[in-house]
Structure 1
Amino acid sequence: MSTPVLGAKRLVGIIGDGPWRAPAFESLAAAVAAAITDGRLPVGARLPSERELAAVIGLSRTTTGRAYAQLREQEYILTRRGSGSIVQLPTVPGGRIDHLLSPAGADDTEIDLTCTAPVAAPDILGAYDRALSRLGAYLPGTGYYPSGLPVLREIIADRYTRRGAPTDPDQILITSGAFGGAAIAVRALLNVEPDEAARLGGARSTSRVLVESPTYPNAIATLEGAGAALVTYPLEFGPQGHHWDTDAMDQLMGQMRPRSAYLIPDFHNPTGALMGEAQRRDLANALRRHRVVPVFDESLVELGLEGGRMPSPMSALIPDSVTVGSVSKIYWGGLRIGWMRIPRHRVDHFASSRLGLDLGAPVLEQLVTVELMDSHDAVVADTRSRLRSARDLLAAQVRSWVPDWKLIVPSGGMALWAELPEARSAALSIAARNHGLRLVAGPNFAPAGGLDRWMRLPYTVPEPELEQVGPRLAAAWEEAKAMTGRGPTRRARIVA
């Protein structure tokens, strides 16, 4: 395959034309490195010569030469005589994926569709640079901020208020991702005081938690690990995709009397369903009537891909509810910054519960998030645009190569939820490894078992990889149909 060549004008269009902070060679190298890490400069592309870049960008040949030398030293480019300078990613000792998430080891030739997580957004490196300049002000203190940095809590509270859920910064607790927030919430809600347990009808009812099926696998593991007894509500499925029957949920709560609920009304993971305004109000009424304290996961709330006004946030409709969110789906999962919005009368109890788990999120990453929030709307718009294109590409691949699969394209989120003609998703996930594809079987998303007819297909990997999914998926599906066994259905731990 021929190597793509970037002209100097194209490179300048990607990284900008300055002004360059002194020393200019370091600023130029940092801009190129940032464009490589966030995917704007593709791996394998050939950069313009040092002389050509100098002429276009308005810097000396010495400056561009020193910038390229620094990029070589940092392993962002590989320069060979006759081949020019080729873009690459630096070697990461131990790999880019933790062994706990991929026990069998990562293969560079595999396409990993097990995770709904994007690569880093543009300006991550710049945000770290700016955050480091602000870190000194915090060093004289202990560095412990169990509630989170006040400046970040104010930003998050203001965003809730502008969405229609008036919020004070004291109601915000910064956590290690939305997953960390959900773990704190579950622990706090299930660990109730004796008088409240008596009011709720005894200790037995306080352990029950209502969840959707399918749902986020790590939430299932967290709830079960906290001692919750899961009350499963199967999402309805019709011609328009998955949806909630709030009357059925109302009846289920009346029969089972759960203490809490973990629900994903905004571009539900894994189905991509969005709960409508009327259903939200009906659900809020039912939750209040049955005295259920819900935890709403808003990790994907900003990823609507078709435009239009979003329904009211659930926190505006039911005051005694907890909401969790994070920056992982917009900026980068490596930041590990999330938050909780907590009812005022529960703040102290939740804060005490949090101190039993950790002493707060890292200060530097919180400062990085503050910096990124300055351009949040632009980053969100760019993320939506990339995901919309990727969604449509993957949907076309599935429809072309496995046309007997049923597919309803979601209006938001980060994955397709496909129905297979046969209950063989576990077998498919095994067969796929023979064709360079890593998948997660449907039963992983099932709190009470089943869902072997379903497969989640994230569209968060780069588009050149998505273009290869179709033929690999078709070959794996043919192999899966020929397998006599369907493989194990033990729930796996996945990222998101």
Structure 2
Amino acid sequence: MMVLTARRLVTELGAWRAGGPAYSALADRVRLLALDGRIPLGTRLPAERELASELGVSRTTVAAAYARLREAGYLRSTRGSGSVVTIPGRRSPVEDIEARTATTLDFSKAALPAAPQVGEASVRAAQALPAYLGGTGYDPLGLPRLRQALAERYTAKGVPTEPENIMVTLGAQHAISLITKTFLSRADTALVEAPSYPHAYDALRLRARKLVTVTVDPRRGWDDHGLAQTFREARPALAYVMPDFHNPTGAVMPAPQRQLLMDLARRHDSLVVADETTADLHIDGVAGAPLATYGPALLVGSMGKTVWGGLRIGWIRAEQDKIQRLEQSRYAQDLGTPILEQLIALDLLGQYEEILRYRTVQLREGRDHAEELLRSHFPQWDVPHVGGGLCTWVNIGEPVSSQLALAAREGGLPIGAGPRFGLGGAFERFLRFPLSYPAEETSLAVEILAEAWHRVEPLRRVDADFTPALV
């Protein structure tokens, strides 16, 4: 059983206080962490006295919060075993599958349905599979033909690449995890953007001693001074960035800043990892040149965002010596990417430009509709206009994102609260809104969000600087 220490839970809670009783605000934040998956099911929470001491509140406050969670079905307490996180109304596995199948309105994910070409490509790949059945099927680097096709795409983008510079992975998350396990040690510091992709935080936290952040703003992008200062003071061993149609802000790093980043990394002997999973999802914006044109960055790509999340194909583009290190490290984790999925990916690369044009149309329609609805329903919100990517990073103006996300979920709309994309509870004034859903679903989502916004109105009336007295 996983045991969550009081210190770690306090870090995850972030700025949990809001208007109303402290125990209620604490219970609501723990509930959101459980629903978001930031506290895994079955995790044992810290003892009441231990958490109260770490939070600086009375034990009575924590006991009341735990009691509220038990009553709502989010906590199960057993004498001698502590309090364990659960989810109310757990069904049988069959019922869970049926419920998930029936539920389509889930805005906690910024993703697209499968491109129309996937079905036929899968059939052709299955027909091609028998030619590979004579081999073992184990290959940590990937099919030579697929690596060649990926290398040619990078070369066409201005980054001369050979198949030896490519490793095929089980998606981008697998690539990020493999990189962190190979190139980070327990004593290292890693630089990350804030906000950023939550699962990248998760992978880096498992390896790095400390994460340091550089702010990304939807309109102003990255802070040059912040970049320089963070490299100078923290000397990170690794820097993880998403320079094109950044998730969740949609920002694109300009060329001078890309050069600055690589110069800083070279000066401080840092390894730069560029997540390019959204780089091809342009609407009316333009992605920049790959970071590897400015220096020896590791590039992570994937078909999960462009083609389909169910096609678990990603890749790493790096110098050959780094690919060799990744290969040796991978043997301890897995023995290669499935051949059939690689054959599907190879087929789809032959139609990739057509797929991307189709995605541009989808995302333009989704973006324009979402921006119009959000601005008309919430005139006080700041809804930036993005040139690409899968989401927009909305400033809701008041530090109630977690409460709003809970209220929306209760109305049938799971959606990503701002703190999900930051560290230490930051970004309570922000909400990630996906652009990848059909118009009718987006319209319904905005209606639910408007009702939720009305339900959190009492919290919005509380001054943001108000701190409840300890009870």
Q: Taking structure 2 as the reference length, what is the TM-score of the superposition? A: 0.75
Matched AA of 2:367: R
User: What secondary structure, in the 3-state scheme, does the structure 1 residue paired with 2:402 have?
Assistant: helix
* 1:385-405 residue CA offsets vs partner (Å, 9 max, x unmatched): 111110110111101111111
Distance 1:485 1:440, change over 3 A: farther
Map 1:89-488 → 2, pairs under 5 A: 94=94, 106=100, 108=102, 111-191=105-185, 204=187, 207-235=188-216, 237=217, 241-308=219-286, 310-319=287-296, 321-483=297-459
Distance 1:263 1:228, change over 3 A: farther
Alpha-carbon separation, structure 1, partners of 2:191 and 2:319: 19
Instruction: Tell me which residue corresponds to 1:5.
Output: none
* Offset at residue 328 of structure 1 (A): 0.8
User: What secondary structure, in the 3-state scheme, does the structure 1 residue paired with 2:409 have?
Assistant: helix
Alpha-carbon separation, structure 2, partners of 1:455 and 1:288: 35
Kept in 1, the 8 Å contact 2:146–2:342? The answer is yes
* Offset at residue 109 of structure 1 (A): 5.9
Structure 2 residue runs without a partner (length 5+): 1-92, 463-471
Q: Which of the pair has more CA radius of gyration?
A: 1
Q: How many residues were matched structurally?
A: 370
Kept in 1, the 8 Å contact 2:262–2:272? The answer is no
* Offset at residue 182 of structure 1 (A): 0.6
Instruction: Tell me which residue corresponds to 1:11.
Output: none
Kept in 1, the 8 Å contact 2:107–2:433? The answer is yes
Distance 1:139 1:109, change over 3 A: closer
Alpha-carbon separation, structure 2, partners of 1:155 and 1:117: 25
* Offset at residue 233 of structure 1 (A): 1.5
Alpha-carbon separation, structure 2, partners of 1:276 and 1:227: 28
* Offset at residue 234 of structure 1 (A): 2.0
Alpha-carbon separation, structure 2, partners of 1:302 and 1:476: 34
Alpha-carbon separation, structure 2, partners of 1:375 and 1:228: 43
User: What secondary structure, in the 3-state scheme, does the structure 1 residue paired with 2:310 have?
Assistant: helix
Alpha-carbon separation, structure 2, partners of 1:182 and 1:98: 29
Alpha-carbon separation, structure 2, partners of 1:110 and 1:344: 43
Distance 1:353 1:118, change over 3 A: same
* Offset at residue 227 of structure 1 (A): 3.7
Structure 1 residue runs without a partner (length 5+): 1-92, 100-104, 192-202, 487-496
* Offset at residue 107 of structure 1 (A): 8.0
Kept in 2, the 8 Å contact 1:242–1:271? The answer is no
Kept in 1, the 8 Å contact 2:192–2:241? The answer is yes
Alpha-carbon separation, structure 1, partners of 2:169 and 2:103: 35
Distance 1:242 1:135, change over 3 A: same
User: What secondary structure, in the 3-state scheme, does the structure 2 residue paired with 1:249 have?
Assistant: helix
Distance 1:415 1:98, change over 3 A: farther
**CA RMSD of superposed structures (Å):** 2.1
Kept in 2, the 8 Å contact 1:441–1:456? The answer is yes
Matched AA of 2:129: L
* 1:399-458 residue CA offsets vs partner (Å, 9 max, x unmatched): 111111111111110001100121001001110023221111111111243111100011
Instruction: Tell me which residue corresponds to 2:48.
Output: none
Alpha-carbon separation, structure 2, partners of 1:408 and 1:441: 17
User: What secondary structure, in the 3-state scheme, does the structure 1 residue paired with 2:456 have?
Assistant: helix
User: What secondary structure, in the 3-state scheme, does the structure 2 residue paired with 1:390 have?
Assistant: helix
Matched AA of 2:457: K
Alpha-carbon separation, structure 1, partners of 2:97 and 2:150: 30
* Offset at residue 133 of structure 1 (A): 1.0
Alpha-carbon separation, structure 2, partners of 1:164 and 1:107: 43
Alpha-carbon separation, structure 1, partners of 2:369 and 2:460: 32
Matched AA of 2:349: M
User: What secondary structure, in the 3-state scheme, does the structure 2 residue paired with 1:295 have?
Assistant: strand
Alpha-carbon separation, structure 2, partners of 1:329 and 1:109: 21
Matched AA of 2:290: P
User: What secondary structure, in the 3-state scheme, does the structure 1 residue paired with 2:190 have?
Assistant: strand
- Deviating beyond 4 angstroms after TM superposition, the runs of 4 or more aligned structure 1 residues are 483-486
Alpha-carbon separation, structure 2, partners of 1:325 and 1:223: 18
Kept in 2, the 8 Å contact 1:190–1:228? The answer is no
Kept in 1, the 8 Å contact 2:238–2:272? The answer is yes
Overall identity of the aligned pairs, in %: 36
Distance 1:224 1:395, change over 3 A: same
* Offset at residue 94 of structure 1 (A): 4.9
Distance 1:406 1:485, change over 3 A: closer
Alpha-carbon separation, structure 2, partners of 1:369 and 1:211: 30
Alpha-carbon separation, structure 2, partners of 1:170 and 1:98: 41
Alpha-carbon separation, structure 1, partners of 2:452 and 2:393: 17
Alpha-carbon separation, structure 2, partners of 1:436 and 1:448: 27
Q: Taking structure 1 as the reference length, what is the TM-score of the superposition? A: 0.71
Alpha-carbon separation, structure 1, partners of 2:183 and 2:97: 31
